[in-house]
Chains A and B, each alone.
Chain A
Amino acid sequence: MNLEDRIEIFGKILVNHRIKVILGSLLIIFTISFGMKFLETPSGYRGFVEEDFKYYKDVLDLEEKYGNIDVLTFVVKPEKGNIFQKDVLSLIHELTEISWQTPYSSRVSSITNHQYTTVDGDDISISDFVDDVDSLSTNEISNLYNAAVLEDAVVNFVMSESGKIGLVNINLEMPEDIAFQEPISFAWEQKNYFEERYEDIFVGVAGSAQFSHNFQSTSESDASKMYPSFLLLIIILTYILLRSVVASIISLIVIILSILPSLGAAGWLGFEVQPPLITAPIIILTISLTHAIHMLSIGLTNMTEGMTKNDAIIESLKINFIPIFLTSFTTAAGIAGINFGDIPAYSEMANTVVIGAGIGFILSVTMLPAMFSLLPINARKRKSYVLEVLKNLGELIYKFKERFVIVITAICIAVFSLLPNLHFDDYFSTYFDRVPEWLEVKNTVDPEFGSSFYIFSDMQSNEPDGITSPEYLKKLDEFESWLLTQPEVADVSTISDVIKTLHKNMNGGLNEYYAIPDNKALIAQYLLLYEFSVPYGMDLKNQMTADKSDSRILIRTNNSTSMESVAFNARVDEWVNENISPFSTNGVAGIPIMMPQLFVENTRGLVIGLLISFTFIIMVVGISLQSFRYGIISIVPNIIPFILGFGLLTLATDMVTAAHQFAVLISIGLVVDATIHFLSKYKKALAINLPPREAIQYCFRFVGYPIIVASICLFSGFLFLTQSMFYYNFIIGGMCALIIMIALLIDLLLLPALLLIFGKKV
């Protein structure tokens, strides 16, 4: 008994037990879907890296010593002038006070609560830089700028050098596994309240806490905004393609039912709802839709040709079973390659899609035929202009096959020459550039401060109380000076700044004493004095260890690309190796180091994943066609869309981000589908002894329309992803849509020509 007969028997069983099949499927589907309640809220940027990722561990090590690195920042910018105006300072003062109420806050710093030291002989007076704003005259207020700009701890940390922007920084001590929801909600309440009260002053929410929260908020807004309209799009698309209300309902039921258990499985597996996972249902839905359309359109066509409903769907099952299986398989194989990358959120997305592709396949060949058999369907005859166009196209290609090949080859070579303009790189800071509020804050902060992000370094003296030694502090100073020469660094703050300021203040406030004293005992005594006079939440615990053996360097970064950051990190390591002895440090750590390193490792993994996936897919195609020659021919139309797609990308950018790489792995398995359909039909046509010209027409007649329909579905689905607020989803959507469209053109224009020239009966 051959495979087709087996499928026919399988089809008959389905049709005869249709009620049991439907109820059984529903039971299984809802059981698995129950897992959706276990889907986890995203843990922000921390959920974007593996827990044992070296550069994340560096961050954790730092946090264990000096406390959490996460900061929530209010950005205050008056429309006109600098922050030294009565209303602006009042706002900052009030905002600073209320910021202590932020859930999980441990420290609050701003220009108003900056500890300002005034010296009168041996009397040292320490007070808030700005306390009672109302008591200050306009003149006194504007003079404050001159004093503020001289303070190390102020410039670039709580105030921009120009004085145009003030920051209120809130350090957060988040317990493990707690999201930033509470502090962020609190911050946004304050932002709205203060912006309403002070019309001409901008108040924004920034900092790593907001960055991290964006992962959650974009997931939520994407899901709530994209899913309903995507469903509407799919309903319209399905109806246009099938022209049958009942058939559309069947396909909708099947595709939606393939999403629920995929997300359920994701829940059972403990996946997080990071922004990438939001794309999974849309991708699954699109893939399942192409299966449903294949099954239903052939079923409907069979009915218009006079078959009974049951025979029509069994026949459709016979024709489609193997191609749907193969295409599901290649799709899954391509996307599974993402697991070679280093970003868990994408692996989780990929695995959800793989599960979804599997469920979609099963439902398309079980529940869908059963429902087709059960529900009343009337097939209407329709004229197809598409078939007419395809027929003419087939003729055209037959006549000019060489020219088609030459022209397309020429285009490919021309575009190929653009590829060297591209390089692997990205800006992690652009992740949320599509979120208007974030972009506004970023565009406010970045020109004045470099960026919203900090990195840190832990410098160890290797002995208790070692940080008070002049040698240690001078080395720290040397490191700071070197760091300041680096383009990636905006500003640096170290404990040696504190000592220099103290030395100056202990010597009548004279600027010539702004230096590190040569006496270790003196430094230790200064520090003791300092430690006795700090207000709540301003102690040095986040800057030095209790035994005073190690101290932390705080570095505000400029926006850099991943490759620049990685190179910077390497230069730091080199400098440290050569210069830091007899002290030691592990170099720098923080979000602007971790995310770029993640990009590099991820790229390395994805390249391997792509090679493996691609080889695997080509092997599957070759085996399914049972021909080496056809396997080789299939490579051409599957590679060209990527060459052309990335060639066209050069018109927009020169960076191939991780998102572009993911797009390749997601689309590779989909692009190959059309080729499988086309090649298998061509082979079959030759096998029944059709001459090449007729064989091409045969292909166009039988698979031309389904290929176009499937590509349109996929194109629409991916194009829809460009609505996402998460930049990577936007890129993946756009890139996949582009590649799929090019692939369609190549399959219709180049592949037939290639087959006419190189295809042989085997």
Chain B
Amino acid sequence: MKKMKFAKIIFIIFALFPFYLSAETAEEQGLRIAKASYENGRGFTDMVSDQLMILIDPKGNEVTREVSGKTLENLDPNDGDKSLTYFKTPKDVEGTVMLSHTHISDDDDQWLYLPALGRVKRISSSNKSGAFMGSEVAFEDFSGTDYRKYEWKFLGEEMENNETFYKLESYPNYENSGYSKRISLIDNLNRTYKVDFYDRKGELLKTLYLEDYVLYKDKIWMANTLKVENIQNKNITIFKWLNRELDVGINKKDFEKSSILRLAD
């Protein structure tokens, strides 16, 4: 009798074994995909590019702003990248330089060199969730690409344009975010295809489309066009990366506050 019972238990354990193997929770699965997607774009060491920002209002009027930028990858897993942005147009802001040190858990550090003032100003602001330069994009949309800033959840697979995507939900785990959640579609190469942003009251605010993916160095996928459609105010913002080059060997010192004045000229 006893043996029978033991065998039964063994049988049940074996029968359930395949389930144990796949018993990754939706949160774990979400985090795994998000991490893979994030790491898809990592390993570039440093990067230079020119960028166009095109603002389109509901009537179709367009405004284009040009900047160029340098980014330094931070290999420290507990800290964010550093970046330099040079503003080119409109003419009045030409020569303005912005240096950002992003952080995973703390507020970002930001310095701005204003040529007309001839000084570098350090801006500390605990809350930069607003859209910048009249665009539909907020700072947190950029600095927030790091998967560690969110809680993730795998929602399932979804078909769109005859392609199957992983559907992930993420919630910001930092204060002052403008969003209550985001829903991302990620393709089977772990490239983010689309992100829906929900505002604080849980309504769809805008949709980000990542387009023109290019494979750099045979391993890094980067989207060279970002299109943000604001659902509520019907404005569209398009970011285009031109002449993107990776691993060009930029001097790390360029990304220090003391270098801004030198680099500005």
Contacts and interface: CB of A to CB of B under 8 A. Distances in A.
Interface of A: 64, 67, 100-103, 105-106, 122-128, 173, 464-465, 468, 506, 519-526, 528-529, 531-541, 544-548
A526 B114 contact: yes
Contacts of B117: 506, 522, 525
B128 A528 contact: no
Contacts of A531: 132-134
6 contacts: A123-B122, A124-B124, A521-B91, A526-B114, A535-B178, A536-B127
Interface stretch (B21-29, B92-100, B206-214): B92-100
Given A122-B121, A532-B139, A538 B114 contact: no
B120 interface: yes
B132 A126 contact: no
Contact of B201 (A103, A126, A532, A540): A103
A67 B235 CA distance: 11
Nearest to B63: A547
B121 A124 contact: yes
Contact of A525 (B115, B130, B131, B133): B115
A535 B96 contact: no
B179 to A, nearest CB: 8
B52 interface: no
Contacts of A538: 130
A173 B90 contact: no
Nearest to A519: B116
Contacts of B176: 535-536
Contacts, number: 139
B55 interface: yes
B232 interface: yes
B87 interface: yes
Nearest to B200: A100
Given A537-B178, A545-B134, A547-B63, 4 more contacts: A525-B114, A529-B112, A532-B123, A534-B128
A544 B133 CA distance: 11
Interface in B101-158: 110, 112, 114-117, 119-134, 138-139
B93 A528 contact: yes
A122 B57 contact: no
A153 to B, nearest CB: 15
Contact of B93 (A128, A519, A524, A541): A524
Given A535-B128, A536-B176, A124 B122 contact: yes
A364 B131 CA distance: 66
B127 A128 contact: yes
A683 B199 CA distance: 77
Contact of A520 (B59, B92, B131, B235): B92
Given A525-B96, A536-B178, A123 B201 contact: no
Contact of B130 (A67, A100, A536, A548): A536
Contacts of B91: 521
Interface residues of B, number: 47
B144 to A, nearest CB: 12
Given A125-B125, A128-B127, A539-B130, A102 B201 contact: yes
A173 B133 CA distance: 21
Given A468-B92, A534-B130, A539-B131, A522 B124 contact: no
Contacts of A128: 126-127
B173 interface: no
Nearest to A127: B126
B138 to A, nearest CB: 7
A110 B119 CA distance: 32
B92 A465 contact: yes
B111 to A, nearest CB: 9
B124 A126 contact: yes
Given A102-B201, A465-B90, A522 B116 contact: yes
B161 interface: no
A536 B176 CA distance: 8
Contacts of A105: 201
Interface in B166-208: 176-178, 199-201, 203
A494 B132 CA distance: 19
Contacts of B178: 535-537
A532 B122 contact: no
Contacts of A522: 114, 116-117
B61 interface: yes
Given A106-B232, A522-B117, A525-B96, A124 B130 contact: no
B114 A529 contact: yes
Given A124-B123, A127-B126, A528 B131 contact: no
A106 B120 CA distance: 33
A266 to B, nearest CB: 34
Contacts of B115: 521, 525
A122 B119 contact: yes
A538 B131 CA distance: 8
Nearest to B124: A125
A59 to B, nearest CB: 17
* Those 8 A-B pairs whose CB atoms lie nearest each other, nearest first: A536-B178, A524-B92, A534-B130, A536-B129, A522-B116, A535-B127, A546-B134, A100-B200
Contact of A540 (B58, B87, B96, B134): B134
Contact of B125 (A67, A127, A523, A548): A127
A353 B173 CA distance: 61
Contacts of A534: 128, 130, 132
B164 interface: no
Contacts of A506: 114, 117, 119, 121
A122 B117 CA distance: 11
Nearest to A465: B90
B259 interface: no
A711 B86 CA distance: 82
Most buried by B among A106, A536, A537: A536
Contact of B132 (A67, A100, A532, A537): A532
A515 to B, nearest CB: 15
B201 A101 contact: yes
Contacts of B123: 124-126, 529, 532-533
B233 interface: yes
B200 A123 contact: no
A642 B114 CA distance: 72
